[in-house]
Amino acid sequence: MSHMHLPIMPPVKPMLAKATQDIPHGGFSYEPKWDGFRALVFYDGHDIEIGSRRERPLTRYFPELVDAVAKNFTHPCVIDGEIIVVNESGTRLDFESLQQRIHPAQSRIDTLSDSTPARFVAFDLLALDDVNLMKEPLQRRRATLRTILADARSPIHMSQATDDHKTAQRWFAQFEGAGLDGVVAKPLNGTYQPNKRGWYKVKHERTAECVIGGYRTHKTGDDRVGSLLLGLYDDAGDLFSVGVCSAFRDAERKKLFTQLQPLVTHDPDHPWTRQRHDDGYRTPLHAQESRWSAGKDLSFTPLEPRLVAEVKYDHLEGERFRHSPRFLRWRPDRDPRSCTYTQLQEVVSYDIGDVLA
């Protein structure tokens, strides 16, 4: 981007947050934890570049945001934020639709920008005009950001923020119903440190008992388990694929492989056969329809659905876990048929419009 003229030039790695169990007290700015694509917007008054967390440009995939930046940004600047998509009913975030926005074909990009338009939620200001603001305290950066976006209109939004701990706790409880991840706490006097974990994130964590319906081997060897495939039964008694557990030490991977061999099955009536997938039934092959899985080997070894594991998860998105759960322990006392969606805590709905207001 040599043609751009800014005090901070792309690519830039965004500042990060480290996980903590409790919302910290005192001297913090609290914000909703948005569930989207982290993005840095570079605008020099003429040209626009949208950079990702991995320092790859997102500009071509979101032409509606390029237009919105040109209309709403009144000064050359570099702004940190999140790209989100809201569902058709306008009530909550829709990460699955957001994922579909990354497409190689320009015609498809144009279609999706109309059918599932994205929004940009701004929460930090790295540069303004010809001044690098990263050494300024967050409190000052955010006040300046609020000023320059005072007249901005959707799809450009300013993220809510508060320095009140009780408000942050309320947001943590309420905003999940709109599809948000949790709360981020940022030191009010903190500087902006690219690629450093100087912020704190608090996410929802719950446990569930899931059926182990299969496994995939690890890249280091076919005698090691790479991931366990998790399932939950629906009201009709069908075993739906809901996610994977994969964070195991190498010694555990070998031990798991040996333990699972007696349960390996070639039964064509296994709940996750290709035929069931082709009938619209959610199996581990469902992800092959996603461009994010292009080129990945999604084959797996089916297991008789007799083992139950307790896992820790943050939240569901539709019928699956949004992020990979963490294995906690085996539950030999649980009947696999009792592992249903009904065990999961139902989150009270909350309108995303109230979060974006």
Specify the pLDDT at position 2. 55
* Edge-to-edge strands, sheet with 28-33: 16-19, 197-203, 182-187, 28-33
Spatial separation of the C-alpha atoms in residues 18 and 274, rounded to whole Å: 39
- Specify whether the CB–CB gap between 216 and 300 falls below 8 A: yes
Q: Are β-strands 197-203 and 301-302 bridged in parallel, bridged antiparallel, or unpaired?
A: unpaired
pLDDT at 292 over 90: no
Query: What is the rounded average pLDDT for all residues in the chain?
Result: 90
Q: Is 118 a residue whose pLDDT tops 90?
A: yes
Instruction: Compute CA distances 300 → 4, 203, 264, 281, 325, whole Å.
Output: 47, 30, 11, 16, 18
Residues of CATH 3.30.470.30 domain(s) within the chain? 16-203
> For position 141, what pLDDT does the model report?
98
- CATH class assigned to 206-343: mainly beta
pTM of the predicted protein model: 0.78
Residue with token string 């498809």? 108
Average pLDDT over residues 115-124: 98
Third-level CATH fold of 16-203: D-amino Acid Aminotransferase; Chain A, domain 1 (3.30.470)
Mean pLDDT throughout 30-34?
96
- pLDDT band (50, 70, 90) for residue 205: confident
Q: Tokens 């999940």 map to which residue?
A: 176
Active site residue 203: no
pLDDT at 280: 61
Query: In terms of pLDDT, which residue wins out, 348 or 92?
Result: 92
Instruction: Tell me the pLDDT band of 298, cut-offs 50, 70 and 90.
Output: low
Q: Quote the pLDDT of residue 318.
A: 76
pLDDT-derived band at 288, boundaries 50, 70, 90: very low
Residue 198 host element (H or E): strand 197-203
DSSP label at 25? P
Phi, psi of 132 (to 5 degrees): -80, 120
Distance, in Å, from the CA atom of 220 to the CA atom of 316, rounded to the nearest integer, reads 30
User: What pLDDT score does 278 carry?
Assistant: 58
Q: Which two tokens stand for residue 216?
A: 């995939």
pLDDT band, very low/low/confident/very high, at 289 (cuts 50, 70, 90): very low
Residues of the chain with CATH 2.40.50.140: 206-343
The whole-number pLDDT of residue 69 equals 98
CA angle 308, 310, 316 (to 5 degrees): 105
Select which of 13, 18, 33, 166 is catalytic. 33
Q: How many residues does the chain have?
A: 357
324-342: pLDDT as tens digits: 899 999 998 889 999 999 8
Comparing CA positions, the residue from 302, 305, 310 lying closest to residue 336 is 305
Question: Which residue type does 79 have?
Answer: I
Residue 295 has pLDDT above 60, yes or no: no
Residue 290: how many other CB atoms lie within 10 Å:
14
Query: Do 50 and 60 contact (CB within 8 A), yes or no?
Result: no
d(CA 278, CA 180): 32
